[in-house]
Amino acid sequence: MEQTETTGRSVPSSAVAAHMQAAQERARVHPAWQALNFEKWIKCVILGDVLDEGDEVLEISCGHTGAEDSNTGGAGGGTHHTYARHKIQHLTTVDSSATVVAAAQRKWEKTKRFDAEFATADLYTISLDQVLREGRSFDVVVCFDGMQNSFASEETAEMFLRSATCRLREGGYFLGFLPDSSAIWSKAAKVNSKGDEAPKFGGDLYKIEFNDDLSRFQPFGTSYTHRMREMEDRKQYLVHFPTLLQLARKLQLEMVEVVNFIDFYEDHKKSHEAALTEIMGWTKTNKKLFPNQLELIGLRTTFVFRKLRSGESMP
Ligand SMILES: C[S@@+](CC[C@H](N)C(=O)[O-])C[C@H]1O[C@@H](n2cnc3c(N)ncnc32)[C@H](O)[C@@H]1O
């Protein structure tokens, strides 16, 4: 059997299989390898859109991927690689886990391509303003996959958002990605249209199980468990976007965009094709996102906020 590519050329299935196997090996062979690599591409594109030479950046909830070595040698890799490519001047890294922060620092010390400082802080309970060096401020604040659990309560969500943006300069950006609550909520509503049971749904790569019935999407405290093969189960909270926007307004943050990953892909796949090809380990003739990976990819959304300048009013 032969597989037809979008170019119209035919590629023998054995060649496709060999190529995909090599790409998977490069991605360290996780079943969700395309979805995970896709996140790297999003990071690279979204940061590339806002970073300027000389910027001072704050990355919160950095996790292990922040300082991950580039596994593509080029466009991809961890966020540090992207910061270096865009010649930022200084990075402040914060996470609640001292182990994570120490790992990020060790990786940074190998190359020191920009100035950096590292801090451990629980942003649900501590105001970052008290932790940061006096006078330090940021052009860009980055939070990939780190804000959702602050939506356990109003207090933690407000504290997290306030901490994230307390030193953001006027005109600066607060950006990242999150689970897409609307996508998750609508899938959950489909499997339990009456809203009287805790719904479960998923594909072969993931399962989502709500912890309560879905009679109401609460502004805070609506939780579910996200299970992924070969990863620890994660309890997460839905981010109620109208509430996020209200909290953001109080902090003079204007929403620039919130875009589901699938729409982001459609909007940027041509303009950032080279990076996508490289990160995915695709070839010129073989560029395909598999349906099960797309299902997972579609559960996430980007967000970008901008801090208003004094005198500017909220649109
Ligand atoms: C899912 S990981 C995301 C890691 C990384 N940003 C990425 O793109 O993969 C979430 C991170 O948030 C951190 N975190 C959890 N609770 C936190 C809190 N209260 N304050 C700061 N960081 C927190 C965790 O230690 C973890 O490193």
At 112, which CATH number?
3.40.50.150
**Residue 157 φ/ψ region, left for φ over 0, alpha for ψ in the -120 to 50 degree band, beta for the rest:** alpha
Regarding the beta carbon of 61 and ligand 1, being less than 6 Å apart is answered: yes
Report which protein residue has its CA nearest ligand 1's atom 1: 145
Q: What confidence score (pLDDT) does residue 191 get?
A: 83
Q: Point out the ligand 1 atom lying closest to the alpha carbon of residue 97.
A: 25
| Segment 182-232, tens digit of pLDDT | 999 999 888 876 666 788 999 899 999 998 776 678 899 999 999 998 889
6 in a structural domain: no
Report which protein residue has its CA nearest ligand 1's atom 13: 61
Q: What confidence score (pLDDT) does residue 230 get?
A: 80
Report which protein residue has its CA nearest ligand 1's atom 26: 63
Q: Determine the structural domain holding residue 269 and report its residue range.
A: 18-185+256-305
Residues 249-274 have a mean pLDDT of: 96
227 in a structural domain: no
Residues 293-315 have a mean pLDDT of: 95
Q: What confidence score (pLDDT) does residue 74 get?
A: 39
| Segment 13-31, tens digit of pLDDT | 555 455 555 555 555 568 8
Task: Please name the helix (run of DSSP H) or strand (run of DSSP E) that holds residue 40, with its range, or none.
Answer: helix 33-50
Please give the tally of structural domains in the chain. 1
Give CA 289 to chain center in angstroms.
18
Q: Point out the ligand 1 atom lying closest to the alpha carbon of residue 234.
A: 1
Sequence-separated (6 or more) residues with CB below 8 Å from residue 22? 281
Q: What confidence score (pLDDT) does residue 75 get?
A: 41
CA of 207 to the centre of ligand 1 (A): 21
The model's confidence at residue 107, banded by pLDDT at 50, 70 and 90, is: confident
Q: What's the whole-number average pLDDT of the chain? A: 86
1 in a structural domain: no
Report which protein residue has its CA nearest ligand 1's atom 17: 96
Regarding the beta carbon of 62 and ligand 1, being less than 6 Å apart is answered: yes
Regarding the beta carbon of 96 and ligand 1, being less than 6 Å apart is answered: yes
Regarding the beta carbon of 144 and ligand 1, being less than 6 Å apart is answered: yes
Regarding the beta carbon of 124 and ligand 1, being less than 6 Å apart is answered: yes
119 in a structural domain: yes
108 in a structural domain: yes
Q: What confidence score (pLDDT) does residue 201 get?
A: 92
Sequence-separated (6 or more) residues with CB below 8 Å from residue 60? 94, 95, 123, 128, 141, 142, 143, 146, 163, 164
CA distance 166 to 308: 13
Question: Which of 258, 282, 257 lies closest to 269, judged by CA?
Answer: 282
68 in a structural domain: yes
Higher-confidence residue of 177 and 4: namely: 177
> Distance from first CA to last CA of the chain, Å, rounded?
56
Higher-confidence residue of 182 and 11: namely: 182
Question: Which of 315, 177, 161 lies closest to 251, judged by CA?
Answer: 161
Which of 121-135, 204-218, 260-274 is predicted least confidently?
204-218
278-306 in b/e burial notation, b at 16+ Cβ within 10 A? bbbbbeeebeebeebbbbbbbbbbbbbbb
Regarding the beta carbon of 131 and ligand 1, being less than 6 Å apart is answered: no
Q: What confidence score (pLDDT) does residue 302 get?
A: 98
CA distance 50 to 69: 22
Regarding the beta carbon of 100 and ligand 1, being less than 6 Å apart is answered: yes
- CB distance 300 to 179 below 8 Å: yes
Instruction: Give whole-number Cα distances, 207 to 179, 218, 252, 299, in Å.
Output: 14, 21, 37, 11
Flag whether pLDDT at 59 surpasses 90. yes
30 in a structural domain: yes
Regarding the beta carbon of 63 and ligand 1, being less than 6 Å apart is answered: yes
Q: What confidence score (pLDDT) does residue 40 get?
A: 92
200 beta partners: 209
Flag whether pLDDT at 266 surpasses 90. yes
Flag whether pLDDT at 12 surpasses 90. no
191 in a structural domain: no
DSSP code, position 231:
S
63-92 in b/e burial notation, b at 16+ Cβ within 10 A? bebbbbebbbeebbbbbbbbbbbbebebbb
